[in-house]
C-alpha cells in the first residue's frame, strides 16, 4: 500500500495541471467569485495526525456538507421521530428538484436533498431563534473538529438569501403540506447560514472523524446513529450521482456546491477535498476524481479492499 502522503502529493500535483475543472456554482453569486484553480485535500486519522496537500488550510463554503452535521444534531435531539418528516431513500433527482415533493405530498425523500435538509433544519429550529440554532451548529462542528476557528461567511448567506427562490419554493411547498413548523423565511434564514459555514480541508477532515467510529475520535452521537448517517451518505450524499460515487469510490461521502466533499473511511480515516468546479450534478468534478484515486491507492472501500489501479 502506498504511503498516504505520497498519494496526496501525487494527486495534488496532477490536479494542479488540469484544464477541465468543471463550473463553479453560479446561482449563488458569492460562490461564483471563487477561484476555480484552487485544490486542497486532507486526511484526518484517529491518532490525531492530519495529512494534506494543496490549498488544505484555506477556508471554503461547506454548503450541503453542513447537512451531515444538522442531521447528526437532529437525530441526537429527536431520534427516530425525525423520520416522520423526511425519508431515507435516494431521490435520483437533482439536489434542488421540486418534482418529487408534490408526488410524495411534501415529505422529502431524504435529509440530503435541499427539501429534506430544510425539513431537518426546521425540526431542530422549532422553539429556538435561528441565532441559537446556528450557535448550536457551530458548537457541534467546532467540538467535532477540535477547533474554535470555524465561522459563518455572512456575505455568502446574504447572497443566497437574495437569490434562493427555489429553496423558498421548496419550503413553502412543504409548509402547504403541514411539513414545516416555522415560517419558510425563518427556517431558510437558518438553512442559508448553516450552508455558509466555512472550513478548510484540514478542519473538515477532522470534523468528520466522529463519523468513522474509530477508537479515540470524538463521540458526538451513538454508534448506531453514526452507522445510519454513513448509510445515508453512501446512498444519498451525491444526489443523482450517488450511485456513481458509490461505484467509483465505495465510501460514504457528502458533497457541497462550494466544491467540497467529506468522505468517511469507517474505522480508519476522514477525508476532505476541495475543488470549486462542479460537474453537472453539482458535485466537485476534480474532488470526486481525487477521492477515487486516493481510495484506490489505499485500497479503501466499504466493499472490501482492492489494490487494482484501474478497476474498470
Kindly list the catalytic residues: 64, 67, 191, 239, 257
Q: Do residues 41 and 14 make contact, with C-beta atoms less than 8 angstroms apart?
A: no
Q: Does 159 bind ligand GLN (CB under 6 A)?
A: no
Q: Does 96 bind ligand GLN (CB under 6 A)?
A: yes
* Secondary structure, 3-state, the chain: CCCHHHHHHHHHHHHHCCCCCCECCCCCHHHHCCCCCCCEEEEECCCCCEEEEECCCCCEECHHHHHHHHHHHHHHHHHHHHHHCCCCCCCCCCCCCCHHHHHCCCCCCCCCCHHHHHHHHHHHHCCCCHHHHHHHHHHHHHHHHCCCCCEECHHHHHHHHHHCHHHHHHHHHHHHCCCCCCCHHHHHHHHHHHHCEEECHHHHHHHCHHHHCCCCCCCCCCHHHHHHHHHHHHHHCCHHHHHHHHHHCCCCEEECCCCEEEEEECCCEEEEEECCCECCCCCEHHHHHHHHHHHHHHCCCCCCCCCCCCCC
Q: C-alpha 230: how far from its chain's center?
A: 12
Q: Do residues 239 and 283 make contact, with C-beta atoms less than 8 angstroms apart?
A: yes
Task: List the x/- string, 21-60, binding to ligand GLN by CB under 6 A.
Answer: ----------------------------------------
Q: Does 179 bind ligand GLN (CB under 6 A)?
A: no
Q: Quick one: which of 61, 174, 185 has its CA closest to 113?
A: 174
Q: Quick one: which of 266, 133, 256 has its CA closest to 193?
A: 133
Member of 55, 160, 198, 240 binding ligand GLN (CB under 6 A): 160
Q: Does 95 bind ligand GLN (CB under 6 A)?
A: yes
Q: Does 195 bind ligand GLN (CB under 6 A)?
A: yes
Distance of closest approach, residue 152 Cβ to ligand GLN, in angstroms = 12
Number of residues located near ligand GLN, criterion CB under 6 A: 11
The smaller minimum CB distance to ligand GLN, of residues 211 and 261, is found at 261
Distance of closest approach, residue 47 Cβ to ligand GLN, in angstroms = 31
The smaller minimum CB distance to ligand GLN, of residues 114 and 212, is found at 114
Within residues 103-132, the interface with ligand GLN by CB under 6 A covers 114
Q: Does 256 bind ligand GLN (CB under 6 A)?
A: yes
Q: Does 187 bind ligand GLN (CB under 6 A)?
A: no
Q: Does 63 bind ligand GLN (CB under 6 A)?
A: yes
Distance of closest approach, residue 114 Cβ to ligand GLN, in angstroms = 5
Member of 73, 236, 257, 264 binding ligand GLN (CB under 6 A): 257
Task: Give the residue at shortest CB distance from ligand GLN.
Answer: 64
The smaller minimum CB distance to ligand GLN, of residues 58 and 169, is found at 169
Q: Quick one: which of 53, 105, 90 has its CA closest to 293?
A: 53
The smaller minimum CB distance to ligand GLN, of residues 7 and 153, is found at 153
Distance of closest approach, residue 119 Cβ to ligand GLN, in angstroms = 13
The smaller minimum CB distance to ligand GLN, of residues 61 and 72, is found at 61
The smaller minimum CB distance to ligand GLN, of residues 96 and 100, is found at 96
List of residues contacting ligand GLN (CB under 6 A): 63-64, 95-96, 114, 160, 167, 195, 256-257, 282
Amino acid at each position: 500500500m502506498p504511503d498516504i502522503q505520497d498519494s496526496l502529493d501525487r494527486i495534488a500535483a496532477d490536479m494542479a495541471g488540469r484544464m477541465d475543472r468543471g463550473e463553479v456554482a453560479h446561482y449563488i453569486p458569492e460562490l461564483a467569485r471563487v477561484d476555480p484553480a484552487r485544490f486542497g485535500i486532507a486526511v484526518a486519522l484517529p491518532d490525531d495526525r492530519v495529512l494534506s496537500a494543496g490549498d488544505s488550510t484555506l477556508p471554503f463554503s461547506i454548503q450541503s456538507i453542513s447537512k451531515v452535521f444538522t442531521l447528526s444534531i437532529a437525530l441526537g435531539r429527536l431520534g427516530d421521530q425525525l423520520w416522520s418528516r423526511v425519508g431515507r431513500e435516494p431521490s435520483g433527482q437533482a439536489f434542488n428538484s421540486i418534482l418529487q415533493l408534490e408526488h410524495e405530498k411534501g415529505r422529502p425523500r431524504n435529509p440530503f436533498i435541499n427539501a429534506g435538509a430544510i425539513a431537518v433544519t426546521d425540526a431542530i429550529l422549532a422553539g429556538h431563534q435561528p441565532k441559537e440554532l446556528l450557535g448550536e451548529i457551530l458548537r457541534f462542528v467546532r467540538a467535532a473538529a477540535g477547533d474554535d476557528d470555524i465561522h459563518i461567511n455572512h456575505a455568502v448567506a446574504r447572497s443566497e438569501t437574495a437569490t434562493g427562490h427555489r429553496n423558498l419554493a421548496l419550503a413553502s411547498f412543504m409548509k402547504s403540506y403541514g411539513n414545516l413548523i416555522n415560517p419558510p423565511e425563518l427556517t431558510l434564514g437558518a438553512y442559508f447560514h448553516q450552508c455558509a459555514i466555512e472550513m478548510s480541508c484540514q478542519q473538515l477532515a477532522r470534523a468528520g472523524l466522529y463519523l468513522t467510529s474509530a477508537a479515540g475520535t470524538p463521540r458526538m452521537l451513538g454508534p448506531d446513529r453514526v452507522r445510519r448517517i454513513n448509510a445515508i451518505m453512501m446512498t444519498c450524499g451525491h444526489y443523482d450521482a450517488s450511485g456513481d460515487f458509490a461505484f467509483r469510490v465505495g465510501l460514504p461521502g457528502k458533497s457541497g456546491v462550494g466544491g467540497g466533499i467529506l468522505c468517511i473511511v469507517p474505522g480508519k480515516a476522514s477525508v476532505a477535498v476541495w475543488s470549486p468546479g462542479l460537474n453537472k450534478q453539482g458535485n466537485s468534478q476534480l474532488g470526486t476524481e481525487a477521492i477515487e484515486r486516493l481510495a484506490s491507492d489505499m485500497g479503501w472501500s466499504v466493499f472490501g479492499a482492492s489494490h487494482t489501479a484501474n478497476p474498470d
